[in-house]
Amino acid sequence: MTVVLKVEDLWKSYKKNEVLRGVTFSVNEGETKVIIGPSGTGKSTLLRCINLLVRPDKGRIFLDGEEITRPGINEARVRSRIGFVFQHFNLFLHLTALENVMLGLTKVKGMPKEKAEEAAKKALLSVGITEDLWHKYPAQLSGGQKQRVAIARAIAMNPRLILFDEPTSALDPELIGEVLKVMEKLAKEGMTMLVVTHEIGFAMKVADEVMFMDGGRIIERGPPQEVILRPKNERTRRFLSRIWELYDLGVRG
Ligand SMILES: Nc1ncnc2c1ncn2[C@@H]1O[C@H](COP(=O)(O)OP(=O)(O)O)[C@@H](O)[C@H]1O
Ligand SMILES: [Mg+2]
């Protein structure tokens, strides 16, 4: 097994607020790991550390065996190898769907325009964004379409790993399915993914491991059948029972 991402004893405080308190895990090539947990427990901070948007106080992160938290690392180069899909899409509003996907290819990867366009179209098609939508601006797209464009933008860069930070929580309920379907397809195709989500149906189906975070720590982890259906920790249980109430999936074991 090839380890793509290794996070080792990560700590981060904002003033007196200890947000991450010793987070350790790794993601192997082709795996999808899902992080669940109440809001304010450091999930976004963790992803932002991996993408080098936040500097941890302590601990190390490795991408393909290379320590990316070491001083002097080329941050732009690291980021070009890690896709990031945000809750609020983060698309450029003045660029079309196609231009949004092309941007990283031309600007970061230095691809010639024609080649970038070809790669961008291929990525858009792979998430079900068809030709009629390529020249639309984000404001002309639904939330589900915008998020699929954002996923295409990540895919097009041919990253080693894609991080998802609650990719469906800003969407209307009827649009969530189309985004989860795309993510499931990506996982099946062997993309390495780290996903923060409350979609436990997705986690049950797709995750190789579920990690429950609370208070800046991973306090329970394991296969989804264990963590989601038979949580051992009292806090995991309490959190999941609230999620079950919201989702009413009807598959409770
Ligand atoms: N840039 C920042 N400055 C100060 N506090 C922050 C910053 N980013 C996050 N926090 C705090 O860190 C805690 C964890 O936030 P976050 O990582 O967003 O949690 P989650 O994604 O699990 O909801 C929260 O208390 C939040 O207010
Ligand atoms: Mg968050």
Q: Is 198 exposed, middle or buried (0-12, 13-18, 19+ CB in 10 A)?
A: buried
Beta strand pairing call for 217-222 and 209-214: antiparallel
96 phi-psi bin (left φ>0, alpha ψ -120 to 50, beta other) = beta
Task: Give nearest CA residue, ligand 1 atom 18.
Answer: 44
| Residue among 11, 17, 166, 198 to mutate when testing ligand 1 (max atoms within 8 A of CB) | 17
Q: What are phi and psi of 243, to 5 degrees?
A: -65, -45
42 lines ligand 1 (CB under 6 A): yes
Task: Give nearest CA residue, ligand 1 atom 24.
Answer: 40
Task: Give nearest CA residue, ligand 1 atom 20.
Answer: 40
Beta strand pairing call for 161-165 and 82-85: parallel
Residues within 5 Å of ion ligand 2 by Cβ?
43-44
197 lines ligand 1 (CB under 6 A): no
163 lines ligand 1 (CB under 6 A): no
Ligand 1 atom with minimal separation from the 48 CA: 17
Answer whether 0.75 is exceeded by the pTM.
Answer: yes
Per-residue pLDDT of the chain (253 residues; tens, 9 = 90+): 899 999 999 999 999 999 999 999 999 999 999 999 999 999 999 999 999 999 999 999 999 999 999 999 999 999 999 999 999 999 999 999 999 999 999 999 999 999 999 999 999 999 999 999 999 999 999 999 999 999 999 999 999 999 999 999 999 999 999 999 999 999 999 999 999 999 999 999 999 999 999 999 999 999 999 999 999 999 999 999 988 887 765 444 3
In 3-state terms, what secondary structure has residue 73? coil
Cβ neighbours of residue 69 closer than 8 Å, sequence gap 6 or more: 49, 52, 55, 56, 59, 60, 61
What does the domain layout of the chain look like in residue ranges?
Answer: 82-158
| CA nearest neighbour of 158 among 207, 108, 112 | 108
Residue 17 CA, ligand 1 centroid: distance in Å: 9
| CA nearest neighbour of 100 among 112, 114, 109, 90 | 90
39 lines ligand 1 (CB under 6 A): yes
Token readout for 48 is 């932002």
Ligand 1 atom with minimal separation from the 165 CA: 21
